[in-house]
Amino acid sequence: MSSPPDIEVLVVGAGPVGCWVAAELCAAGVRVMVVEARENRAAWSRGFVVHPRTLEIFDSRGAAAPMLAASRRLPTWHFAMGASRLDFSVLPTSFPHILLQPQAQTEETLEEHLNRCGGEVLRGRRVVDVRQQADRVVATVRHNGAEQSVGARFVVGCDGAHSTVRETAGIGFSGTPDTLLSPAALVELKDPPPPERYLQGNEQGLLFVIPLPDGRFVVSTIDHAVMTDLSKPWTAEMVRESLIRITGTDYGLGEVERVSTIGNSALQADRYRDGRVLLAGDAAHVHFPMGGQGMNLGIQDAHNLAWRLIAAVRSERDGGSPDTVNELLDGYEAERRPAGERVLEDVHAQMGLVAATGADGAALRIRFEALLAEHPAVNLQYARRLSGIAVRYPTAQDGDGDDTENITDARLGARVPDLLLERDGAPPVRLYELLREIGPGRFVRLTVGGPADGADGAEDDPEDDAAVVTATAVTGPAWALRDRWDTPGSVLIRPDGHVAEARTW
């Protein structure tokens, strides 16, 4: 067998997902190389929405503050572009809102975070091939017209929807093809609609408007008259015609800087892992950007994958068993592929609503909006799903991954929120501040109202390098107490913030 490669993880693609996985790995001391095909980061933004669970993840690593300071928070969001909003303000999180932030800005913040964690993006380097050997992967990287071989223990394909890593690993991308096209246009509106008309629909279709901090707007329509014409991309003139068709006005459409054409294909990688090759983000799943979920889903993939890769690399460094590595990395697919499936399903449901035509479609949307407006429990359920905080993973104690099923302890498998901890003789502290200090790659055993070990058998825990946090009590926030996070006992928190085990004194 050849000697182990110097680079432990090669991350292909420095979009938001690649930057996040690389930052986690670098902060944990893994030797990482990040290669990116583009010479410069894209100046334009595809997306705008950062969801609550993603903000929690960023906050638990100290990366949320610059975004929160710079961008607008919205306490409500939409399902299927409906005017009845999902109420995020009641969500049990410290971030009960979405953040409206151009993706280019999110990417800049994440690259800066990666740099602070000790990593850098090597630009102008395109991976054109990936080959697996027994103990490594060898990637061919094209740079300045020359090709170079890069060996690494693992390769993570964060190279977007047309992933070369996925294709060369022979992993299929399956699902449903485009059946409709829609525009996303960056425009000037001299006579914009009032905020309560940013989302509007009728028998002609739907309009969706996002105001940007610089005074411009992103405008999108689901235009029933032309949406199924897949023969040509959207143009500025088509956007104007569509606005008039749906709303009766073009809202003073001025300069149109860019028009993207978006399809509703929904595809998912058949496997998220093939040996030493892993996929995350758009390389693993794509769907219509309804609800602004793709980047969020991808960052949550990255957060799950990173701690598993850190543990896998450490295990190989120590000459550990291949079974350990397999268990860790198969767990990534076992948890994140279903999470992706659930998002794709929600997007399909939303597309079904918005694309239903004529009087039947309009009535269906009115009925669904009434459900969201009149039934807070339904509204909450959808808000939890879109926000990302509903995700829970099966645990050894309780093996069900859907948060609506029978669960003996609702904390099991769920993500731990930012609890306010009381400690003897010390000022109260927020859990996420402690997680920041502990950093990526470590389990945390949080004990509340009792001893750090002994009484609960914590010393027998297999995660014997878990950081121990003790609190005399959990005193807030109020919603955390409602959700039983103040129960005296202990929880074992995985490095991605999900609860692996919960015990009550």
| Interface ranges with ligand FAD (CB under 6 A) | 12-18, 35-38, 46-49, 103, 126-127, 158-160, 164, 184, 260, 262, 281-282, 289, 292-296, 298
What DSSP character marks residue 465?
Answer: T
The nearest distance, CB 281 to ligand FAD, in angstroms, is 2
What amino acid is encoded at 54 in this protein?
T
Q: Quick check: 458 and 419 in contact, CB under 8 A?
A: no
Helix axes 322-355, 294-317, angle to 10 degrees: 180
Q: Quick check: 410 and 483 in contact, CB under 8 A?
A: yes
How many helices and strands, by DSSP H and E, does the chain display?
12, 28
Structure tokens at 502: 């919960």
Q: What is the distance between the alpha carbons of residues 55 and 296, in angstroms, rounded to a whole number?
A: 9
Size of the chain, expressed as the number of residues it contains: 505
The nearest distance, CB 56 to ligand FAD, in angstroms, is 15
Q: Quick check: 493 and 412 in contact, CB under 8 A?
A: no
The nearest distance, CB 156 to ligand FAD, in angstroms, is 11
Percent helix, percent strand, percent coil in the chain, to nearest 5: 35, 30, 40
Task: Name which of 294 and 417 has its Cβ closer to ligand FAD.
Answer: 294
Task: Name which of 44 and 505 has its Cβ closer to ligand FAD.
Answer: 44
Q: What is the distance between the alpha carbons of residues 397 and 406, in angstroms, rounded to a whole number?
A: 12
Task: Name which of 16 and 361 has its Cβ closer to ligand FAD.
Answer: 16
Three-class SS string for 46-106?
CCCEECHHHHHHHHCCCCCHHHHHHCEEECEECCCCCCCCEEHHHCCCCCCCEEECCHHHH
Q: What is the distance between the alpha carbons of residues 503 and 497, in angstroms, rounded to a whole number?
A: 17
100, 49, 19: which is closest to 292 by C-alpha? 49
CA distances from 163 to 10, 127, 461 (A): 14, 10, 40
The nearest distance, CB 12 to ligand FAD, in angstroms, is 5
Q: What is the distance between the alpha carbons of residues 206 and 243, in angstroms, rounded to a whole number?
A: 9
Task: Name which of 184 and 243 has its Cβ closer to ligand FAD.
Answer: 184
Residue 237: phi, psi to the nearest 5?
-65, -35
Residue 99: phi, psi to the nearest 5?
-110, 125
Task: Name which of 16 and 441 has its Cβ closer to ligand FAD.
Answer: 16
The nearest distance, CB 420 to ligand FAD, in angstroms, is 29
The nearest distance, CB 377 to ligand FAD, in angstroms, is 26
Task: Name which of 74 and 434 has its Cβ closer to ligand FAD.
Answer: 74
Residue 261's Cβ-count burial label (10 Å; 0-12, 13-18, 19+) is middle
The nearest distance, CB 331 to ligand FAD, in angstroms, is 20
The nearest distance, CB 209 to ligand FAD, in angstroms, is 14
Task: Name which of 103 and 487 has its Cβ closer to ligand FAD.
Answer: 103
Structure tokens at 127: 């991976």
Task: Name which of 28 and 127 has its Cβ closer to ligand FAD.
Answer: 127
The nearest distance, CB 375 to ligand FAD, in angstroms, is 26
Q: Enumerate the β-bridge partners of residue 273.
A: 278
Task: Name which of 282 and 346 has its Cβ closer to ligand FAD.
Answer: 282
The nearest distance, CB 298 to ligand FAD, in angstroms, is 4
What DSSP character marks residue 494?
Answer: P
Task: Name which of 54 and 447 has its Cβ closer to ligand FAD.
Answer: 54
Task: Name which of 158 and 448 has its Cβ closer to ligand FAD.
Answer: 158
Task: Name which of 183 and 477 has its Cβ closer to ligand FAD.
Answer: 183
What DSSP character marks residue 135?
Answer: S
The nearest distance, CB 215 to ligand FAD, in angstroms, is 19
The nearest distance, CB 323 to ligand FAD, in angstroms, is 30
Three-class SS string for 333-358?
HHHHHHHHHHHHHHHHHHHHHHHCCH
